[in-house]
A and B are shown apart, each in its own frame.
Chain A
C-alpha cells in the first residue's frame, strides 16, 4: 500500500505540499521566482545608474526587516510623518508594517538603547583632559600649577624661583586661604634644585587702590656660585666656586601717584653667610684662588634702607601696584619684559647697605633702568624692545663691597652669551635690544644683541672693554604671559643656551 506523505510548506507551514517529485518542481519555481525578482544590473538592463542619494550606506543597511514594525505612537511626535516642507507639518500616522525612513532611524535608536554604555575615554583622551584642566599661573620667574581634582589644602607645585645658577628648581607653594582675599596676597614656598640649591620664602601683603605694603622673608642656600674676578678683563679660566647662605627679612611700603607712577620705601635686615661651596671636577674655591677678594670668609649682616620710584606705561599684563619687584628679595637687574609690546618703563632706586657687624662692608647703590617697547604690528606682535641699565655703587672711606654683592652682568638677564655673574664690579652699564615677532600663537621669536660693561672708576670706561653677544630666542606664551623661554646667544667666549621659566615684568 502506498502512503501519500503529507507535508507542509517550509515557508509558512500551512500549505499542503504534494508528492516529493512535485516538490522538486516547486523548488524550481521558487528559483525562477527569485531570478525574476532579482534587480537588474546596469550591464544586463542597460539602465542608467544613479548615485546613492540621501542617507548614508549605514542608514540604507539598516533598512532590514529586523528593524521594521516595532514602534507605534503619535506620528509627528515620533517624527515619522511626512511634511510638505519643514515648516508645514501635516503629519500622518502610518501602519506599523509599512517601511519608512523615520522608522528606520527610530529603530536604530531603539537598537542602540540596548547596547549603549557610559563614555569610556582612552588614556590619550584622559591625558589631554588632565592637561587642559591643569591651570598654571605665571609669576615673575616661576610657574605655579593647579592640578585638577587634587586638593592639598592650598599647596601647589611650583617650578623655578631659585637663582640662575641653581638650574632646574621646583618646590611647593602654599597660599593660606584664610589670609587670601581681593586685596591681600600671602604665600610661603619651599624650593629645591638639582644643583643642590634650596630655600624658601614667604610674603604677606595688602594693596589698596593707591598703596601697597607687605612683609617678606627669604632664605637661600647657594652652594655653587661662580666668581671670575672683578673688572671687564677677568678671565674665563679663572672661574672659582663659592657658596653663600642668605637670610632676608623686611617690609615695603609703596604709593601710586596716578596710573603709571609709583614710589615707595623699604627696610630690611639681611645676613650673608659665606660658605666654601661645593666645587666639582677640580674647580678651585674662591678662598683659594681669590683670597684677597673682599668678603672672602666673612659673614656680613646688613641693615638695608632704600627707596624707589617707577614710571610704567607698558602694556604688560600684571599688577603694577604690588611693587614686589622693588623689594630686596628681587634682583636689582631686572629682565626685559617678554610680554610688553609698547610703552615705556623707567625705574630708579637707591639702597643703603649698612654693615651692622664689622662696619667694613657698608655701601650705597643707585640704579636706573630704562626700557622702551615699540610695536611694529600689534596683531602679529612685531615689535622692538630696548633697555638701558646703569648701576653705581658708592663706598665711604675704606669700606668695601663683598665680592658676592658686587653688581654683575652675564647670564639670562643681561649678557646672554656669558655665564651668570661673569663680570663683576662696582659699576655696570648694560644695553639690550630685541626684534620680536610671533611665529606661532603660543611662540614668540626674537633676535637680540646685548652689550655690557663693568668698571670700578669712570676713567676705566672704554670701547675695548665692552662685552657683547648676539642671539636668537623663543618664548612660549600663554594667555597669562610668557611661560618659558629658550635662548641661544653667542659671545666672545662661545655659545650659550638658556632655558628659563616665568614671565618677566
Chain B
C-alpha cells in the first residue's frame, strides 16, 4: 500500500475520532474545575433602573396559591463541581471557608470609614416603611446613608435586629449594606437647602415617634451600599434580569438564594421579599456590573419594624387557605402550634423564640420561588455554614447591637444557638454529614460534621468504595477496593489513574461520592463531590 495512502487513512481515522469524540459533551470535569470565581462581573451595559413597592403583591400571593413562579425545577445550577458556590456578584465565600476573627465578624460589612460627623448631615428625603420612619441623609464627607430610628414603644428593636442580621448574613457570604449604629442629637440633621420642608419639620418626622436617651441623643442606624454608582431596583427570586447580561442563571436555581431559606429561617427573616433586596450598579477596574444586595434588615429576628413581629410570621405564608378555614371553624382556637409561642418581654427582643422553631416548616410571609426549590443539597450547603458559628462568635455579633439590657443579649445568643442547633439536626446529615474534603499526603481527609456538632458518635464506621473514574466518558470504571473505616482519613488506593472516585457510605445517614484528579506532579486533588449520587435530592419541607 502506498505510504501516502496509509498516512491518509491514519489521518482520517484520527479526524473521525476527534470529530465524534464525546469530550466536549460528556467530559465531567474541566481543567479549571472546581471553579471558585464565577465570571459574572464582566463589563456590561447598565440595566434600567426600576422599583418595586413595599409589601406583598396581592396578585403574586394569589398566584402562589395556585402555582409557582419560575421555570427551573432541577438542582441548583450556579454551583461548582464540589457543590460549592463560586464567588460572584451575589455571593462571597467567607466565614466557613476562611474563619473570620471575632473583630472581623463584629465589623461585618463595614469595611469603609464610619459616617463623617465633622459637619451636619443633610436630610434629602424622609420616608416610612413598616411604620418605621427613615431618611436619606448625606454626611460631611458627601456620602449618602439611610438613617433608621426605632419606634419609641419598642426601642432598640429594629436597629438591633439590623445590626445582628447584617453581620450574620455577611459572614454567611451575602452582600449586605454597611450598618453603623450611632447616637446623635436631632440638631445633627438639617433639611436640604433645595427643599421647601423646614429643618424642624424634618426632625419631627424622623424623631417624632422615637425616644431619646437621658442625654437627649437618639440611637440611629445608618446603612450604606458601598461603591454604588446607581441603584437599579430589587431582584426577583425567580427568572433572570433580561437587561443584565451577567445574570444567566435563573434566580430560583441559584444555590445561595435557595440556601438563603435556611439562613433566613435562622435569623427569622420572614419578611424577605424583593422589596428587601437591591441591585446596584458598581464599577470596578473599569468594569460596570450589577451587584446584588440583601437590604432593609430592620425586620429580621423578632422585629417587625416599628413593632414586634406577629406571631404567625415565620410559620405561615401570608395566605394559606386551609389554615384560614381551620381557624374560622374553631373561632381561632386552632390552626397553628405557633399560637403557643412566647418570647420574653425584654427590650429589643420582639417576637423570636426557638421552642416552636422547626427549620423545615419555617417559611417567609410571601412565598419565595427560590426558597420553595431549596433541596436537601442546598439546605446542607447552608446548614454547614450556619452550624460553624461558635457561641463566642454569635455573642460577638449580637453584642454589636449594643442592647442596654444584658438579658436581651443573653436571650438572643441563646435563641440563635438553639435555632442553629435545630438547623444542624435537620440538615447536616444529608450525604452522611461529611465535608471539607482534601487530599493530604496519601490520604483523603474530611470532617464529620455530625460528630463535630455532637449530633452523632465520633467514631462512625463508614464503607468506602474506590473506583477508577473515566472523566472523558463520565463513567465509573474498574473497582479498586472496598474498605470500612471509622476514621476521618481514607488511604488512597495504590493505583494512580487520572481520576479516582470514592463513594463514602455512612450507615443510617447517607452517601457522598468524592472525585479526585491526579495533578501534574502526580498528587491527587479533590475535583468533584456529589451528595446522595443514587437519588435526586428531595425537596425539603417547603410546603406543608
Nearest B residue to A35 via CB reads B20
Q: How far is the CA of A148 from the CA of B52 in the complex (A)?
A: 12
CB of A489, distance to nearest CB on chain B (Å): 17
Q: Does A500 contact B (CB under 8 A)?
A: no
Nearest A residue to B18 via CB reads A37
Partner of B39, one of A60, A79, A438, A441: A79
Q: Is the CB of B80 within 8 A of A54?
A: yes
Within B277-300, which residues are at the interface with A (CB < 8 Å)?
Answer: 285, 287
Q: Which of A24-32, A242-250, A329-337 faces chain B?
A: A24-32
Q: A80-B35, A119-B50 are in contact. Are A128 and B328 (CB under 8 A)?
A: no
Q: Does B184 contact A (CB under 8 A)?
A: no
Partner of A117, one of B16, B59, B243, B332: B243
CB of B283, distance to nearest CB on chain A (Å): 14
Q: How far is the CA of A112 from the CA of B328 in the complex (A)?
A: 50
Q: By DSSP majority rule, is chain A's interface helix, strand, loop, or mixed?
A: mixed
Q: How far is the CA of A55 from the CA of B72 in the complex (A)?
A: 13
Q: A37-B22, A110-B245 are in contact. Are A439 and B324 (CB under 8 A)?
A: yes
CB of B437, distance to nearest CB on chain A (Å): 11
Q: Which of B3-11, B156-164, B404-412 faces chain A?
A: B3-11
Q: How far is the CA of A61 from the CA of B316 in the complex (A)?
A: 39
Q: Does A11 contact B (CB under 8 A)?
A: yes
Q: Does B25 contact A (CB under 8 A)?
A: yes
Q: Does A131 contact B (CB under 8 A)?
A: yes
Q: Name the B residues within 8 Å of A78 (CB-CB).
A: 39, 42
Q: How far is the CA of A75 from the CA of B93 in the complex (A)?
A: 19
Within B79-132, which residues are at the interface with A (CB < 8 Å)?
Answer: 79-81, 83-84, 86-87, 93, 97-98, 130-131
Within A62-97, which residues are at the interface with B (CB < 8 Å)?
Answer: 63-65, 76-87, 89, 91, 94
Q: Determine the interface band of chain A, counting residues with CB < 8 A from chain B.
A: 35 or more
CB of A30, distance to nearest CB on chain B (Å): 4
Q: How far is the CA of A118 from the CA of B46 in the complex (A)?
A: 10
Nearest B residue to A181 via CB reads B201
Nearest A residue to B244 via CB reads A116
Q: How far is the CA of A438 from the CA of B336 in the complex (A)?
A: 12
Q: Is the CB of B86 within 8 A of A79?
A: yes
Q: Name the B residues within 8 Å of A60 (CB-CB).
A: 25
Q: Name the B residues within 8 Å of A25 (CB-CB).
A: 9
Partner of A131, one of B18, B39, B54, B59: B59
Q: Is the CB of A38 within 8 A of B534?
A: no
Q: Is the CB of B31 within 8 A of A98?
A: yes
Q: Is the CB of A39 within 8 A of B473?
A: yes
Q: A18-B8, A33-B14, A48-B476 are in contact. Are A58 and B77 (CB under 8 A)?
A: yes
Partner of A112, one of B245, B311, B312: B245
Q: Which of A214-222, A377-385, A458-466 faces chain B?
A: A377-385
Q: Does B451 contact A (CB under 8 A)?
A: no
Q: How far is the CA of A148 from the CA of B54 in the complex (A)?
A: 13
CB of B94, distance to nearest CB on chain A (Å): 8
Q: Which of A100-108, A277-285, A365-373, A423-431 faces chain B?
A: A100-108
Nearest B residue to A26 via CB reads B12
Q: Does A494 contact B (CB under 8 A)?
A: no
Q: Is the CB of B30 within 8 A of A100?
A: yes
Q: A82-B31, A86-B86 are in contact. Are A445 and B243 (CB under 8 A)?
A: no
Q: Name the B residues within 8 Å of A129 (CB-CB).
A: 52-53, 57
Q: Does B45 contact A (CB under 8 A)?
A: yes
Q: Is the CB of A131 within 8 A of B58?
A: yes
CB of A147, distance to nearest CB on chain B (Å): 13
Q: A79-B86, A116-B243 are in contact. Are A101 and B33 (CB under 8 A)?
A: yes
CB of A448, distance to nearest CB on chain B (Å): 12
Q: Is the CB of A382 within 8 A of B75?
A: no
Partner of A438, one of B30, B34, B332: B332
Q: Does B477 contact A (CB under 8 A)?
A: yes
Q: Does B544 contact A (CB under 8 A)?
A: no
Q: Is the CB of B32 within 8 A of A127?
A: no
**A-B contact sample (17 more), CB < 8 A, given A124-B59, A382-B332:** A36-B16, A39-B475, A48-B476, A51-B534, A82-B31, A82-B32, A87-B97, A89-B36, A99-B24, A99-B31, A100-B30, A102-B39, A105-B39, A182-B205, A380-B332, A439-B327, A479-B130
Can you offer 28 A-B residue contacts whose CB atoms are under 8 A?
A: A11-B15, A15-B11, A29-B16, A30-B13, A33-B14, A39-B26, A47-B477, A48-B467, A50-B474, A56-B253, A81-B32, A87-B98, A101-B80, A106-B39, A109-B246, A112-B245, A113-B44, A113-B45, A116-B45, A117-B243, A118-B48, A124-B59, A124-B63, A132-B54, A379-B310, A380-B311, A437-B327, A440-B319
User: 3 tightest A-B contacts by CB?
Assistant: A33-B16, A437-B332, A379-B311
By a beta-carbon cutoff of 8 Å, the part of chain B in contact with chain A is: 5, 8-9, 11-22, 24-28, 30-42, 44-45, 47-48, 50, 52-60, 63, 72, 74-81, 83-84, 86-87, 93, 97-98, 130-131, 201, 204-205, 241-248, 253, 285, 287, 310-312, 316, 318-319, 324, 327-328, 331-333, 335, 339, 341, 351, 365, 467, 470, 473-477, 501, 513, 515, 525, 528, 530, 533-534, 536
